[in-house]
């Protein structure tokens, strides 16, 4: 029995050419024995044991992310993309500016990129992202009177920072790593609260000056704010619809008994819409923060009840 030395296909007796690849069969191929040669290493996921291809960034079975691969860090990719947007030439469109509640095109792109960023799974990547988002939050807190652009970016980074923290508490089990993350989280929150108190003082004086202006200017301001009301209401409605969809997904995961995904979804429940024309969004944002905390408690209770039923045999 002979085989083609080019492709390994079995040759017909007396054949001069391989039927599979057309390679010319020489006399030295007669009686060639097909052999199987094993080369290289078999790579397995350290988390679940699944066999993975070389240069893969994560496990196709469990999603575990590998380190020391040739794939660029997702956090670095995020930073690079944000910088690319920042380097884009400025383009002023007055109509578009007012329709987007005073946000520039660059900031709208950056906020969208931050909101859609997927938090990684490994401690190193989560820690890297927490450091990045914490520093961005601190930079935004330095503004004396934050512009709509700064407020929008700050809100996006704060929401993603909270989401990364909650995910870290779910996927990281090393005590020293957890304490390190908790320390960063508490320090960032304390600095944020301090900056908010300072901002309140900075706003108080301009507000007092504003109300001392002639009545004509005051009426003109009220009219301007009223004209922007419809855009604000649409923004709040759209954001509330998005968050309600997430709430439905959380309850679906609870019904399925998938409490890990339920927590991840609940942790992402953050009101991201802001407007320079009204402060009402702050009250709405607080309500959604309360909803997020309530959902996390509901998930904990559901999981405890499920474990209790398993331990008691469903009785």
- What pLDDT, in 10s, does the model give residues 4-39? 877 778 888 888 878 777 777 764 444 445 554 444
Query: Are both 32 and 172 inside the same structural domain?
Result: no
What pLDDT does 183 receive?
93
Single residue among 71, 87, 120 that ends a domain in this structure? 71
Query: Are both 59 and 175 inside the same structural domain?
Result: no
Angstrom CA distances, 135 to 141, 234, 270, stand at 10, 32, 20
Angstrom CA distances, 67 to 121, 122, 126, 242, stand at 11, 9, 13, 34
What pLDDT does 191 receive?
87
Give exposure, 181-212, as e/b (b: 16+ Cβ within 10 Å).
beebbeebbeebeebeeeeeeeeeeeeeeeee
Please give the average per-residue pLDDT across 147-154, as a whole number: 85
Residue 160 falls in which region: left (phi positive, over 0), alpha (psi -120 to 50) or beta = alpha
Query: Measured between alpha carbons, how far is 110 from 67 in angstroms, rounded to an integer?
Result: 27
- Please name every residue paired with 19 in a beta bridge, in sequence order, or none if there are none: none
Query: Are both 33 and 97 inside the same structural domain?
Result: no
Give exposure, 217-256, as e/b (b: 16+ Cβ within 10 Å).
eeeeeeeeeeebeeebeebbeebeeebeebbebbbebbee
What pLDDT does 56 receive?
52
Query: Are both 22 and 131 inside the same structural domain?
Result: no
Please state the length of the chain.
Answer: 315
Query: Are both 154 and 17 inside the same structural domain?
Result: no
Query: Are both 79 and 66 inside the same structural domain?
Result: no
Q: When comparing pLDDT for 288 and 142, which is higher? A: 288
Domain that holds residue 129: 74-311
Check whether 180 has a pLDDT greater than 80.
Answer: yes
Please give the average per-residue pLDDT across 58-82, as a whole number: 69
Q: How far is CA 44 from the centre of its chain?
A: 27
In terms of average pLDDT, the best of 76-90, 97-111, 136-150 is 76-90
Query: Are both 186 and 244 inside the same structural domain?
Result: yes
In terms of average pLDDT, the best of 69-78, 146-155, 211-220 is 146-155
**How many domains in the chain?**
3
Q: Count other C-beta atoms under 10 Å from residue 285's C-beta.
A: 19
Q: Are the C-beta atoms of 140 and 146 separated by less than 8 Å? A: yes
Query: Are both 123 and 85 inside the same structural domain?
Result: yes
Query: Measured between alpha carbons, how far is 64 from 296 in angstroms, rounded to an integer?
Result: 24
Query: Measured between alpha carbons, how far is 91 from 105 in angstroms, rounded to an integer?
Result: 8
Torsion of CA 87, 92, 93, 98, to 10 degrees: 90
Please give the average per-residue pLDDT across 133-156, as a whole number: 82
Query: Are both 238 and 290 inside the same structural domain?
Result: yes
In terms of average pLDDT, the best of 49-58, 85-94, 154-163, 204-213 is 154-163
Query: Measured between alpha carbons, how far is 233 from 264 in angstroms, rounded to an integer?
Result: 28
Q: What share of the chain is helix, strand, coil (3-state, %, to 5)?
A: 60, 5, 35
Q: When comparing pLDDT for 315 and 59, which is higher? A: 59
Query: Are both 92 and 214 inside the same structural domain?
Result: yes
Query: Are both 240 and 128 inside the same structural domain?
Result: yes
Query: Measured between alpha carbons, how far is 275 from 235 in angstroms, rounded to an integer?
Result: 9
The pTM (predicted TM-score) of the whole model is 0.43
Query: Measured between alpha carbons, how far is 230 from 310 in angstroms, rounded to an integer?
Result: 52
Query: Are both 164 and 124 inside the same structural domain?
Result: yes
Query: Measured between alpha carbons, how far is 157 from 132 in angstroms, rounded to an integer?
Result: 9
């Amino acid at each position: 029995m002979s085989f083609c030395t080019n492709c390994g296909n079995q040759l017909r007796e007396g054949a001069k050419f391989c039927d599979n690849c057309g390679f010319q069969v020489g006399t030295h191929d007669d009686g060639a024995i097909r052999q199987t040669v094993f080369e290289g290493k078999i790579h397995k996921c350290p988390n679940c044991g699944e066999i993975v291809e070389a240069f893969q960034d994560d496990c196709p079975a469990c999603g575990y992310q590998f380190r020391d691969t040739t794939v660029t860090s997702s956090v670095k990719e995020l930073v690079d993309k944000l910088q690319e947007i920042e380097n884009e030439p400025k383009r002023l469109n007055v109509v578009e500016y007012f329709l987007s509640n005073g946000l520039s095109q660059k900031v709208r792109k950056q906020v969208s990129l931050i909101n859609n960023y997927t938090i990684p799974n490994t401690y190193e990547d989560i820690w890297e992202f927490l450091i990045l988002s914490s520093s961005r939050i601190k930079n935004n807190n330095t503004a004396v009177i934050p512009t709509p652009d700064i407020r929008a970016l700050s809100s996006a980074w704060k929401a993603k920072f909270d989401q990364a923290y909650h995910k870290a508490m779910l996927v990281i089990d090393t005590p020293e790593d957890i304490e390190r993350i908790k320390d960063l989280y508490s320090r960032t929150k304390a600095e944020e609260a301090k900056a908010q108190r300072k901002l309140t003082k900075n706003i108080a004086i301009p507000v007092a000056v504003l109300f001392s202006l002639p009545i004509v200017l005051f009426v003109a301001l009220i009219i301007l704010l009223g004209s922007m009301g419809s855009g604000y209401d649409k923004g709040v409605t759209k954001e509330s619809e998005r968050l309600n969809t997430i709430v439905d997904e959380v309850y679906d995961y609870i019904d399925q008994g998938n409490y890990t995904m339920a927590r991840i979804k609940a942790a992402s429940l953050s009101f991201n819409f802001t407007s320079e024309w009204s402060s009402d969004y702050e009250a709405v944002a607080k309500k959604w923060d309360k909803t997020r905390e309530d959902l996390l408690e509901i998930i904990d209770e559901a999981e405890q009840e499920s474990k209790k039923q398993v331990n008691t045999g469903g009785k």
